[in-house]
Structure 1
Amino acid sequence: MRLTGHITAVRAGQGDPHAMLGEFRRTAVLLPHAEDGLRVGAWGGFQWIYAFTGEERLARFVVARGARPDEPVVYRSVLGARLLDAVVPSLDVPTGVALDVEDEATSMLFPPVRGIVPEGAAVDRGEDTTAREARR
């Protein structure tokens, strides 16, 4: 199953989040660039790197933010694993990945927590998962 299929299934409550994350890690995603580096947003107390599963989705995103439809878009392609394991930990603030945010029905957030990003970049690093579960 492709990544977008996994996301649709997880959003419907029928998918396997671990399989979805594994597919994200194996998928090349597109990262739009801003003048000062990666294009990021802020929400929920975190920074989010915008990533897209295809050029059409990326184009809809940049046009929705004011770019002309015929304007070239600078982006790079990177494997999801490299994004989570190398790019996110290299940043100075807690950062997750916001995938395909131009489409509310198929978007997905990969927050900076253990199991998604390396423990050193996770906001819940060092937290005892048993204690966290007990608080729920």
Structure 2
Amino acid sequence: MGLAGEISATRDGSVHSGRLLGEFRRTALLVPLSEGDDGGLMSGWQGGVRWIYAFTDEEALARFAVARGAGAGAREWEYLSILGARLVDAVIPTVDGPTGVAVDVADEDGSMLFPPVVGIVPDAQAVDAPSAGTDRAEAV
């Protein structure tokens, strides 16, 4: 079914969240790089949480680019292909502050947030863990 299909099924109420999370962890996501000189991953802030933008395919990434005002003749967007598991287990621990993953955010009916909570991100980065946020590295 793939991650996009699991998101759709979850939104319809026909899939358990554990199955969705498993598919997220197994999926190679496309994460655009920021335009600045820092070479970091593109992200945004909402509700005190940094959300790393990730996409299930190039078409979903293109819809996001268009929604951000990148039309015909706009620059090419560089991106990293990374497994969801590696994103939450290896990348998020290097970011300062609460960080989650926003998947396919330009698709109103196909987007999904994976927040920085126990069971999604490592406990040390989870905002709902008993000792949340005590040993965070600086943003890369």
Q: CA deviation at 1:69?
A: 3.0
Q: CA deviation at 1:5?
A: 1.3
Q: Aligned AA for 2:47?
A: G
Structure 1 segments (4+ residues) deviating >6 Å: none
Rounded to whole Å, the distance in 1 between the matches of 2:91 and 2:29 is: 13
Q: CA deviation at 1:59?
A: 1.1
Question: TM-score, normalised on structure 2?
Answer: 0.86
Bigger proportion of residues as helix: 1
Give the percent of matched residue pairs that are identical in Structure 1 and Structure 2.
Answer: 59
Rounded to whole Å, the distance in 2 between the matches of 1:10 and 1:3 is: 10
Do structure 1's residue 54 and structure 2's residue 57 form an aligned pair?
A: yes
RMSD: 1.2
Aligned counterpart, 2:83: 79
Aligned counterpart, 1:39: 42
Gaps of 5+ in 1: 128-136
**Structure 1 SS opposite 2:23:** helix
**Structure 1 SS opposite 2:45:** strand
**Structure 1 SS opposite 2:69:** coil
**Conserved 8 A contact 1:6-1:16:** no
Gaps of 5+ in 2: 132-140
Q: CA deviation at 1:68?
A: 3.2
Aligned counterpart, 2:28: 28
Question: TM-score, normalised on structure 1?
Answer: 0.89
Q: CA deviation at 1:66?
A: 2.0
Aligned counterpart, 1:131: none
The correspondence for 1:120, drawn from 117, 120, 124, is: 124
Rounded to whole Å, the distance in 2 between the matches of 1:9 and 1:60 is: 21
Aligned counterpart, 1:69: 72
Rounded to whole Å, the distance in 2 between the matches of 1:13 and 1:76 is: 31
